[in-house]
Amino acid sequence: MERTIFLVDMQSFYASLEKVFRPDLEEQPVVVAGDPDIRSGVILAACPEAKKWGVQTAEALWEAENKCPHLTVIKPRMQLYLDASVEIAAVFEAVSNQVEPYSVDEIFVEMTHVLRPDESPEEAARLLKRQVKRMLGVNARVGIGPTKVLAKMACDHFAKKTPGEMFTLSDANLQQQLWPRPVGDLFGVGSRMEKHLRNMGIRTIGQLAAFPLEQLQKRWGINGELIWHTAYGRDSSPVTTDTHVHRKGIGHHMTLARDYYSWEEIRVVLRELSEEVARRVRADGCMGCTVSAGAGGHDFDYPAGFHRQEKLMDYTNDGTVIYETVCRLFREHWTGFPLRSVGITLDQLVPDTFRQLSLFSPLQDKESLNHTIDHLKQRFGSAAVLHASSLTQAGQALLRAQKIGGHYK
């Protein structure tokens, strides 16, 4: 039996939800954007009326306002969007026991053993779309395919332009519909990979499918083989909530509200990020042995920055160890340029089941302290326990405690 998978994407999710709460804006161009006062005025979502004016997601707010002077700008309410996403997932879980949230506004649903013998995938998709519209007042589009990658590409490249906002991509129409598209439209091909492929003379997905697999493997190894199989729509990954649980690394990136010039200020943010990464690693029951750190400058016309890593002697999930390693990397590679963004990642994660004990490190006491702090933050909020340095002007922890994903709740 061929699999049937849905990728359900809520159209202009954030903006559509805001319009539900503001009926007076129903026919108005509306965008959800970050706070321009702290230089994060980027469009997160634009409703169809705004898109008619040329407004696009991820562009600067000032650019959107130049295109559409009467644009209504609403600050994001991330908790509202997350709660709505959970409600939508619950609707799908009443239909299928295999439901996988792919992002806040995209959800995979395994429908293979759910469809009735006399029911087509399109009929089931229309029913789910009506349920979402009735419950939350937002429109959904559905990509249908025998694999997750085909369902995703069906939704992204075809359902958006189809009157019923649903499209089926399968072996039967793969060559006619998908292969003529630019190779950059293939799932898993980013801008850098697209540039490399174009330099090899590969312009379309069909040309990639016809390219000798051996040459792709020789150049990119398993990644070359993966994109070649993706061009044929092959993907054996199941629809499950555990798909993205086993991660190789956990990181945290922060765009700063202003330029940071001095080491005294920068190390405050590095400590906060290190503790946050460590907390998330502990929450996953993991530890890692490679610390990566990166920084970006404030001038996009003359970009400055670095990204380096250091392998530790032992596995860790302690924020102090991560912080000390990051400080070494910054002292060696930061040349003094004003910082506008910083990021820290702990890689090569393994389960925190067994540890190599050391006679020279009070590991057990530190573990107890870390877990106690984690418990306090879980119960009373992320700002319940902070380093004193976070209370200075350089600190970002208090501000970020009011946000989800970098945006206000």
Q: Which of 106, 165, 272, 276 is catalytic?
A: 106
Reference 111, options 1, 241, 3, 9; nearest CA is 3
Q: What is the rounded distance in angstroms from the CA atom of residue 266 to the CA atom of residue 339?
A: 8
Would you report the helix, strand and coil content of the chain in percent, each value rounded to 5?
Answer: 45, 20, 35
Q: What is the rounded distance in angstroms from the CA atom of residue 293 to the CA atom of residue 323?
A: 10
Residue 404 φ/ψ, nearest 5 degrees: -130, 125
Contact 298, 347 (CB under 8 A): no
Is 9 flagged in the annotation as binding? yes
Task: Return contacts of 150-157, CB within 8 angstroms, 24+ apart.
Answer: 150/5, 150/174, 150/233, 150/235, 151/5, 151/6, 151/7, 151/108, 152/7, 152/102, 152/187, 153/178, 153/185, 153/186, 153/187, 154/7, 155/7, 155/8, 155/9, 155/106, 156/9, 156/185, 157/181, 157/185
Is 352 flagged in the annotation as binding? no
Reference 69, options 88, 50, 83; nearest CA is 50
Contact 239, 148 (CB under 8 A): yes
106 labelled catalytic = yes
| Number of alpha carbons in the 13 Å side-chain half-sphere of residue 148 | 18
Q: What is the rounded distance in angstroms from the CA atom of residue 382 to the CA atom of residue 241?
A: 26
Token look-up 């004003």 returns 338
Per-residue burial over 91-126, b = 16 or more CB atoms within 10 Å of its CB, e = otherwise: bbeebbebbbbbebbbbbbbbeebeeeeeebeebbe
Q: What is the rounded distance in angstroms from the CA atom of residue 243 to the CA atom of residue 232?
A: 21
Residue 141 φ/ψ, nearest 5 degrees: -115, 150
Which residues participate in the annotated binding site? 9, 105
Which residues participate in the annotated binding site for Mg(2+)? 9, 105
Residues with active-site annotation: 106
